[in-house]
Structure 1
């Protein structure tokens, strides 16, 4: 993790091997406009620059207690073009959440069977498409959640993201972050 850079570094970060613990700042988020009329680009994002197609994975956990507490992966081209995916606390539950932002943000949620902490997340870039998946330990397979458009470019930033739009002090844990070759383009087994 020594080659990674922060966008909006948090005040409190600890690392033990491949485990990273982050405590969020006050009212941090990544969001652009839609429904809430809020524009925020102050969430915490630890990333690296990656060229071409790739697959990024990380396991995320956290002390999800307050509305919109979130932790996961992010792919970012600019303030107005990014995707974040991970666990988000909404309506008293933890969901797998995906926000795709191409100038304006959209948001989708899916219930995750079983435990909703220490969930493995996978983002894969195939040219202009980003495939979003999470690992379901009950079925021992990655579950597809979204296939989203993302502007084709030579390189993007990819890494770990966490936010707490309603408070400060959300504690997120990331384990086993890695970026490697893109998995197969086959969508169906």
Structure 2
């Protein structure tokens, strides 16, 4: 199933538009998804446009953002509840764009991988295989999907899946999402 039709917002952004299969978003002030670890706070006010997905699946999107301020971020999210979710995408940290993954099972953790952000956008994919979420991005230089994380995620009949964006240090981060698709899971083979 492709496109954004029938999806609903958790914490709608102050500005968003749809056009030609692309979602354009401008974030609200001090938005984020995080639970406790290191920083000692909880935030659940990031922008998340989603729909339910049952069983195993793969979800992909291409994102392109105007990353300028610390922690500007955009990507995909899989969410079971306020205490169980995964977000993955591009995040601006220390003056560079990184591929960032936050896994939250009651408390959040954070991992970063340096990437060359393609000016045409970055394609990312999350795949659910039973109790595992597989996180990848498409390397524009060689055309191969790069593995970033294989994370535990509680089993459930369905989860909410979609696109998310946040700007924890400001408002007005602009990002676009295109070619959003949810479909059957890719093969469980991890190595070619």
Q: Report TM bin, short chain.
A: over 0.9
Aligned residues: 189
Secondary structure of the corresponding residue to residue 34 of structure 2:
strand
Counterpart in 2 of 1:25? 28
**Within 5 A, what are the aligned runs for 1:143-154?**
143-154=146-157
Q: Distance in 1 between matches of 2:126 and 2:99?
A: 13
Distance 2:129 2:111 in 1: 21
Partners of 2:97 and 2:117 within 8 A in 1: no
Which residue is equivalent to 1:118?
Answer: 121
> How far 1:113 sits from its partner (Å)?
3.2
Match of 2:185 among 172, 182, 187: 182
Decide which of 40, 43, 59 is 1:37's aligned counterpart.
40
1:140-163 per-position Cα deviation (integer Å, ceiling 9, x unaligned)? 110000000000001000000000
Question: What's the counterpart of residue 167 of structure 2?
Answer: 164
- Note if 1:109 corresponds to 2:112: yes
1:61 match? 64
Q: Normalising by structure 2, what TM-score? A: 0.96
Aligned-residue offset at 1:117: 6.0
The aligned counterpart of 1:138 is 141
Q: Which runs of 5+ in 1 are unaligned?
A: none
Conservation of the 8 A alpha-carbon contact between 2:14 and 2:26? yes
Structure 2, unmatched stretches of 5+, are: none
Q: Structure 2 CA distance, aligned partners of 1:102 and 1:56?
A: 20
